[in-house]
Chains A and B, each alone.
Chain A
Amino acid sequence: MSLTLEQVRRVAHLARIEISDAEAQSTLGHLTGIFALIEEMQAVDTAGITPMAHAQDLAQRLREDRVTETDQRAAFQAVAPETEGGLYLVPQVIE
């Protein structure tokens, strides 16, 4: 397969990364090289092989439903770009 400029723009949009035409062009070149490497996988017959998502086959641990954390909102919001009254501020999305 070969990637197109349009696909690069589309994934950049999906990933919410603004991309200029020049960047899209150079990214296309790099990604084409990387996908040539990745395509080596396609020659392998993996029928019947269970996909391995994780290094250890473990079930997710459960814990008791109780409060364990203390309120650290002020500390956590101190590193935010913009807050007001304990809320994170973002550009208005609803008129």
Chain B
Amino acid sequence: MITRNLSALAQALAGKEISSVELTQLYLDRIARLNPQLNAFITVDAEKSLAQARAADQRLAAGKGCPLTGIPFAQKDIFCAKGWRTTCGSKMLGNFTSPYDATVIAKFDAAGAVNIGKTNMDEFAMGSSNESSFFGPVKNPWDISRVPGGSSGGSAAAVAALLAPAATGTDTGGSIRQPAALCNLTGLKPTYGVVSRYGMIAFASSLDQAGPMARSAEDCALMLNAMAGFDERDSTSLDRPTEDYCAELRTDVGNKPLAGLKIGLPREFFGEGCTPEVMQLVEAALAEYRKLGAETVDISLPNMKLSVPAYYVIAPAEASSNLSRFDGVRYGYRAPNYSDLNDMYSKSRAQGFGAEVKRRILIGAYVLSHGYYDAYYLQAQRIRRLIANDFVAAFKQCDVIMGPTSPSTAFKLGEKAADPVQMYLSDIYTIAVNLAGLPGMSIPCGLAQGLPAGLQLIGDYFDEARLLNVAHRYQQVTGWHLQHPAELA
């Protein structure tokens, strides 16, 4: 049961092979047994999950189920969920029980899905290894001495270890795609504005986007159908016609399903910087794509190398502004002792935030401060435009861009924790996509010394359906996405 995909689980529920309560209990038991080793969840609340499962069973019995009804999903602890502790991986929100639902949570609820628990993450989604969580690092189920990636590392580890059929993630600079790559999952960051950010605790508002993390493109498509859509509560939500992201996946297109598809290979993704073992697997995946009828063309994204520097101005600038709301007044942590109001702010924030969050707030405050704004913040925004323009030019020559998701497979816990710059460079292939606001995916493309590697797919604006289809056709003829790690003892 636990290795079935979402449609098979829906079928099992519809056919009364299993009830939602039984399925939920199955996952709760696995979480109880295996989470102590992985630390993938911050909060599990069996009573709440089972109550949702009972409601789902009634709904199914009444014949009112939809594709996700009764299926448990792990929710990244960045999404406010009413009545659930919602921490964002921070001591600052360690005692915060959300009084309201994020739109993403409300949409899963409306679909009758079960929330199986809130997953661990880098503090305020700032990190690439899940080591900045106040609640401790998450372990990669493929090798528990290694990181699962970040910031959606808990979601990735939970799904990879079969503690949940699928999970949500958020991606500001690669936080869905990189952990998906490191844990052998399929993850999709949609076009900016496709999924509502309401109730998703803000890190860098012009870059943050939520998306699905699952074991196949098919599962991601089903989830995106539930997650996407206009939301008047998010001022950057896009009002577009509803799409069925599964439609293209269902068509039968023979043995050259991708005939005519042009895959752009940016030379900046294929030069130095990527480990040979990951590159070999990426090349093998591209060979598979050629067999499916696609042709590859060389392209260039000349400003790609500037994406990390520009991102580390823009994201901290936005974060320093967003995180100013944590002041110990309306919610969250307040220091126990202080002398006056300013001292209360300063001590609450000093004690409530971890080292990486503080670093980014300080970078942001600095680049926005008088005398530095033009040199840093505006320059970064101009470079952001150059990067976005590179993609516009590239998509005149190709339909989809491919390359590695992450330059290496999962690294060791502690390996990069002391050096922020090394950590930042692990997102070198993913960050440009967020700056441009494009959709991006990572799909499993093989194992190197037993560790998963990801192939990144980047689409033009609103090309989620095409990306999912391109991923799905590969997954129909390969089995990498079906691999899972040896069961932990």
* Residue positions of A touching B, CB distance < 8 A: 3, 7-8, 11-19, 27, 30-31, 33-42, 44, 46, 49-56, 58, 60-61, 63, 72, 75-76, 78-82, 88, 90-91, 93
Most buried by B among A8, A58, A82, A90: A90
Residues of A contacting B381 in the complex (Cβ-Cβ under 8 angstroms): 51-53
**Nearest CB on A from B377, distance (A):** 8
Instruction: Tell me how far the C-beta of B94 lies from the nearest C-beta in chain A, rounded to whole angstroms.
Output: 12
Residues A42 and B379 in contact, CB atoms below 8 Å apart: yes
Given contacts A14-B369, A51-B378, contact A72 B350 (CB under 8 A): no
Whether the Cβ atoms of A41 and B385 lie closer than 8 Å is no
Q: How far is the CB of B125 from chain A (nearest CB, A)?
A: 17
B388 touches A15 (CB 8 A): no
Q: Determine, out of B22-30, B39-47, B217-225, B333-341, the stretch whose residues face the partner at the interface.
A: B333-341
Q: How far is the CA of A72 from the CA of B308 in the complex (A)?
A: 42
A59 CB → nearest B CB, Å: 11
| 11 contacts across the A-B interface (CB closer than 8 A) | A15-B361, A17-B349, A34-B359, A39-B309, A40-B305, A41-B306, A44-B306, A50-B385, A56-B192, A81-B333, A91-B339
* Distance, CA A58 to CA B206, complexed state (A): 12
Instruction: Count residues of chain B with CB under 8 A from any CB of chain A.
Output: 74
Q: Could you count the A-B residue pairs with CB atoms below 8 Å apart for me: how many are there? A: 167
In contact, B344 and A11 (Cβ under 8 angstroms): no
Is B479 among interface residues, defined by CB-CB distance under 8 A? Answer: no
Knowing that A55-B207, A55-B437, A90-B344 touch, tell me 11 more A-B residue pairs with CB under 8 angstroms: A11-B366, A31-B359, A41-B376, A41-B379, A41-B383, A46-B382, A46-B383, A55-B436, A72-B99, A78-B99, A79-B96
Say yes or no: A11-B362 contact (C-beta < 8 A), given A33-B420, A38-B309. Answer: yes
**A18 and B340 in contact, given A31-B362, A42-B375 (Cβ under 8 angstroms):** no
Q: How far is the CA of A18 from the CA of B340 in the complex (A)?
A: 13
A7 CA to B324 CA in the complex, in Å?
Answer: 19
**Chain B contacts with A in 391-438, Cβ cutoff 8 A:** 419-421, 424, 434-437
Within 8 A of A (CB), among B219-241: 232, 235-236, 238
Q: Is B437's CB under 8 angstroms from A18's CB?
A: no
Closest to B335 in A: A18
Nearest chain-B residue to A61 (Cβ)? Answer: B235
Known contacts A56-B193, A56-B236; is A79 also within 8 Å of B338 by CB?
A: no
Shortest Cβ gap from A87 to chain B (Å) = 11
B308 touches A80 (CB 8 A): no
Whether A49 contacts B192 in the complex (CB less than 8 A), given A16-B345, A33-B419, comes out as no
In-complex Cβ contact of B206 among A15, A35, A53 (8 A): A53
Q: Please list the residues of chain B having a beta carbon within 8 angstroms of any beta carbon in chain A.
A: 96-100, 192-193, 206-207, 232, 235-236, 238, 303, 305-306, 308-310, 312-313, 320, 324, 327-334, 338-347, 349-350, 353, 358-359, 361-367, 369, 375-376, 378-386, 388, 419-421, 424, 434-437
B420 near A90: Cβ-Cβ < 8 Å: no
A46 to B99, CA, bound (A): 45
Docked CA distance A46–B310 (Å) = 13
Residue of B97, B207, B349, B375 near A15 (CB, 8 A) is B349
Nearest-Cβ distance from residue A28 to partner chain B, whole angstroms = 10
Closest residue on chain A to residue B346 by CB atoms: A18
Q: Which residues of B contact A8 (CB under 8 A)?
A: 362
A4 to B382, CA, bound (A): 27
B206 touches A54 (CB 8 A): yes
Closest chain A residue to B338, Cβ basis: A91
Residues of A within 8 A of B421 (CB): 33-34, 36-37
Complex partner residue of B342 from A16, A27, A35, A49, CB under 8 angstroms: A16
